[in-house]
A and B are shown apart, each in its own frame.
Chain A
Amino acid sequence: MIEFHIEPRSGVAPYLQLVHQVRQALRLGLLHQGDRLPKVKDVAAKVAINPNTVLKAYRQLENEGLVSPKPGVGTFVTGTLGDPATSEHEPLRQELRRWLASARAAGLDQESIEALFQQTFRTTVEEER
Chain B
Amino acid sequence: MTWLTWRQFRAQFLVAAAVLVAATAYLLISGLDLRDKYHDLTAGCPDGGCADGSQLLDAYAFPYWTGSALVLLVPALIGAFWGAPLIARELETGTYRLIWNQGIGRGRWLTVKLLLVGVTAVTVTGLLSLLVTWFASPLDRLNHDRFTPLLFASRGIVPLGYAAFAVALGTCLGLFLRRTVAAMAITLAVFAAVQVLVPLAVRPHLEQPVHSVVALDAATLRSTRMLGFTGSHGPSATFVAGIAVPDAWMLSDSSPIRDSSERVLTFGTQPCANNSHDVPSEDCLAHANLHVAIDYQPADRYWPFQWIETAIFLALTAALTALTTWGLHRRLG
Chains A and B share a contact (CB less than 8 Å)? no
